[in-house]
Amino acid sequence: MDFPHVDLPVDIIAWTDVTEDILNIYKQSCRLKACIFAVCIEGTITVSINLMETEIKQGDFVVLLPGTIIQFYSQQEKVRIGFVGFSEQCITKVNVVQSTFHSLSSILRSPVLHIDPAVASYFQDYFALLGRITTGSHTLDTEMIRHILEGMLYGVDKLYSDVPMQDVRTQSRKEEICRKLVQLVIENYTHERRAQFYADKMGISLQHLSTTVKQATGKNILDIIAHVVLIDVKSKLKSTDMTVQEIAYSLNFPNASFFGKYFKRHVGMSPQEYRNS
């Protein structure tokens, strides 16, 4: 099954007073096309992130990357959340994989992270500032928004990199296998897209890896590999002058034709059509 896809209507939105009334709109599961960073200012709410139930409470920092499946459940108390979100179009201009290289596996493993109250207040103030700017009379140009996003990603990468491993949510064996797979894909996707390669690197059978990934995420191994590859490809198509052939070779595709078919199979259009869209 797939879920309704949700994007932002503009490149950047920031707000410091998202309440339960607004969150209740998203009681049905949906898949984000946008990228959202949030901090819980008040209260507690239970949500499902990538089909796993988790609790968000005051002082928690939340990272929802593109492709995240999110669903909000009802709560018993007042909730207030501050956030900044970037649209899919904005995200494609930044290489999320490279920007969070050191911490991406930790972010995917624990999208909700409890942070120091002082740091939480800094994010709250920053979101408030962005909210004033984005709702004011002065509009931000595309390059400025891109730099704001890059700054957020750098800050999040540093935030997660500094967190002791014991503070990251305890995982089941299935989750640990999936986390390891994602980490290996991030490290090797530019030259390896074979599922067998990753099973061999992890020292488990391909069948066991395939079954575990499917049960834990609902996706197959090639879906996960393609997801990471396409983040890089979309960024290169939108934010660089590299030719399609150069992009194909940079990711170890045998030729531009094979690369084009791979991209179209997953995205529904050719690389050039995506670049021009």
Please provide the DSSP assignment of the chain as one string: ----EE--SSSEEEEEEEEHHHHGGG-S-EEESSEEEEEEEESEEEEEETTEEEEEETTEEEEE-TT-EEEEPP-SS--EEEEEEE-HHHHTTS-HHHHTTTTHHHHHH-SEEE--HHHHHHHHHHHHHHHHHHHSSSPPPHHHHHHHHHHHHHHHHHHHHTS-GGGSPP--HHHHHHHHHHHHHHHHTTT---HHHHHHHHTS-HHHHHHHHHHHHSS-HHHHHHHHHHHHHHHHHHH----HHHHHHHTT-S-HHHHHHHHHHHHSS-HHHHHH-
Q: How many structural domains does the chain have?
A: 2
Q: Quick one: 115 and 219 in the same domain?
A: no
Q: Quick one: 9 and 54 in the same domain?
A: yes
Q: Which pLDDT score, from 0 to 100, does residue 1 have? A: 38
Q: In tens digits, what is the pLDDT along the chain, a chain of 277 residues?
A: 356 788 898 999 998 888 877 776 667 778 888 999 999 999 999 888 876 778 899 999 999 988 887 888 867 678 899 999 999 989 888 888 778 877 887 887 789 999 999 999 999 999 999 998 888 777 788 889 999 999 999 999 989 887 765 455 555 777 788 878 887 888 888 899 999 999 999 999 999 999 998 887 778 899 889 988 887 888 788 878 899 999 999 999 999 999 999 999 998 999 999 998 8
Q: Quick one: 184 and 156 in the same domain?
A: no
Q: Quick one: 145 and 258 in the same domain?
A: no
Q: Quick one: 86 and 16 in the same domain?
A: yes
Q: Which pLDDT score, from 0 to 100, does residue 165 have? A: 52
Q: Which pLDDT score, from 0 to 100, does residue 232 have? A: 82
Q: Quick one: 240 and 143 in the same domain?
A: no
Q: Which pLDDT score, from 0 to 100, does residue 58 have? A: 94
Q: Of the residues 148, 167, 186, which one is the last residue of a structural domain?
A: 167
Q: Of the residues 167, 198, 216, which one is the last residue of a structural domain?
A: 167
Q: Which pLDDT score, from 0 to 100, does residue 135 have? A: 81
CA 101 from chain center: how many Å?
12
CATH code, domain with 233: 1.10.10.60
- Give the span between the Cα atoms of 8 and 69, in whole angstroms: 15
Q: Quick one: 155 and 221 in the same domain?
A: no
Q: Quick one: 62 and 192 in the same domain?
A: no
Q: Which pLDDT score, from 0 to 100, does residue 25 have? A: 66
CATH code, domain with 150: 2.60.120.280
Q: Quick one: 16 and 128 in the same domain?
A: yes
Q: Quick one: 232 and 133 in the same domain?
A: no
Q: Which pLDDT score, from 0 to 100, does residue 20 have? A: 73
Place of tokens 């493993």: 109
State which residues form the domain around 145: 5-167
Q: What is the pTM of this model?
A: 0.68
Q: Quick one: 149 and 226 in the same domain?
A: no
Q: Quick one: 268 and 190 in the same domain?
A: yes
Q: Are 178 and 212 in contact (CB under 8 A)?
A: yes
